[in-house]
Amino acid sequence: MYKHESLLKSTEAQQVVTVTKTSVSFAITSIIICFITLHFCPSQLRAQLGTTPNIKHIVVGRCYTYTTLVNPSLRYDCEEIWRQFEEAVISHSSCNVTVEDYFHMFNAMPQIWPCDNFLFWSKTRTLMHSYAAVFRHFWTLEDTLVGYMFNDLIWCGQEEDSGFDFSSCPEWSACRSHPVYSLWRQASQNFAEMACGNITILLNGSIVNAFNRKSMFGSVELDSLDPQRVNYVNIKVVTSLDGPHIESCSQGSIVDLIQILRSRGFHWTCTDNDQYVMFSVWKFHDIKVNYESGIVVLDQSITSCDSC
Ligand SMILES: *[C@@H]1O[C@H](CO)[C@@H](O)[C@H](O)[C@H]1NC(C)=O
Ligand SMILES: *[C@@H]1O[C@H](CO)[C@@H](O)[C@H](O)[C@H]1NC(C)=O
Ligand SMILES: *[C@@H]1O[C@H](CO)[C@@H](O)[C@H](O)[C@H]1NC(C)=O
């Protein structure tokens, strides 16, 4: 009897763990995707949504998860980070939180990243959703402490010093300095400034303006990359399997991106879909990913992995 009960409990516990893990990774994936491509994710940013309920528990909990399980070598004061975050947000009105207001918070969470694995992307959301597992080799913004902690959350203050507004937050477009936008802007800038070695940029060749100056990549990250630190910018243009094939390395806005890189003295490469070659690179590199995600992919998504 006793034995049966404990068995049941452990099974239950296991299920809970599995479910949590799945939903968290899903949430993280979607959030990260959204914030990197800020302008193209309106559903995440509906005006009627207020600050995410239980935000303090979520943020501090994620911080402990990250520093205990994800990246245990790092020491951070999670409570202090929260204090600095709260201070930045609630001491200003809901539409008036600048990147500078997050200065102390970012100071409390310095992070160094390894070279050669930085991945930037823009409007390749569907791909990231489906094959997030493939990207484990890369550092994306969501792998950083700040990305991990604030992924998929919404927040804003009310009047000065009256706490978070849980009933509604303004739209991005309504503010000059939106509290959520400002945090991601600074996080993206820090991330890009740290980028070194070979970096990879994933762009969506199935749309017009694959490289968009107004996206977080085009407006913040690109300008923060340092040609002294970055050896190669390797651009991957990914089109959906069934098209359309609108832009490529030699067509459309990507040509402008290459022009900008060239004028700033970056070394660069650009690869259009190269499914079969990429597939084999990926397959040889990491069968486990294939296994875990349960999908055998003959799809452009694997181009993302050619420098794994
Ligand atoms: C925004 O905040 C700054 C201080 O951070 C303040 O000087 C300014 O008046 C505020 N603007 C509005 C419109 O509230
Ligand atoms: C490219 O963008 C289109 C339109 O938003 C989307 O349907 C498609 O899934 C995207 N492709 C990738 C590889 O993410
Ligand atoms: C960096 O990228 C260049 C160009 O794609 C490649 O020749 C080189 O081997 C890469 N270096 C590393 C360390 O991956």
pLDDT of residue 174: 87
CB environment 50-70: b (16+ within 10 A), e (fewer): bbbeebeebbbebbeebbeee
| DSSP character at residue 236 | E
Residues annotated as part of the active site: 115, 196
pLDDT of residue 206: 86
10 Å CB burial of residue 36 (0-12, 13-18, 19+) is: buried
Nearest of 238, 234, 232 to residue 272 by alpha carbon: 238
Nearest of 194, 187, 193, 184 to residue 112 by alpha carbon: 194
Whole-structure pTM value:
0.74
pLDDT of residue 253: 96
CATH number at residue 247: 1.20.82.10
Whole-number Å distance, alpha carbon 3 to ligand 3 midpoint, is 57
Residue at 98 is within a domain: yes
Residue at 17 is within a domain: no
Ligand found nearest the CA of 209: 2
Nearest of 72, 76, 96 to residue 84 by alpha carbon: 76
Residue at 243 is within a domain: yes
Whole-number Å distance, alpha carbon 158 to ligand 1 midpoint, is 13
pLDDT of residue 28: 37
Pocket test for ligand 1, best of 87, 89, 90, 92 (most atoms within 8 A of CB): 92
pLDDT of residue 112: 80
pLDDT of residue 286: 35
Residue at 5 is within a domain: no
Nearest CA owner, ligand 2 atom 7: 126
User: Is 93 touching ligand 1 by the criterion CB < 6 Å?
Assistant: yes
pLDDT of residue 59: 98
pLDDT of residue 114: 76
Pocket test for ligand 3, best of 198, 249, 266, 306 (most atoms within 8 A of CB): 198
Look up the domain containing 103 and give its range: 40-297
Identify the residues whose C-beta falls under 6 Å from ligand 3: 116, 198, 231-232, 234, 269, 307
Counted domains in the chain = 1
- For the chain of 308 residues, list the mean pLDDT of each consecutive stretch of 10: 38 36 37 38 54 97 95 91 96 92 96 78 59 61 90 88 90 88 94 91 88 90 95 87 86 96 96 54 34 28 33
pLDDT of residue 173: 82
Distances (CA, A) of 129 to 32, 96, 123: 10, 32, 11
Residue at 3 is within a domain: no
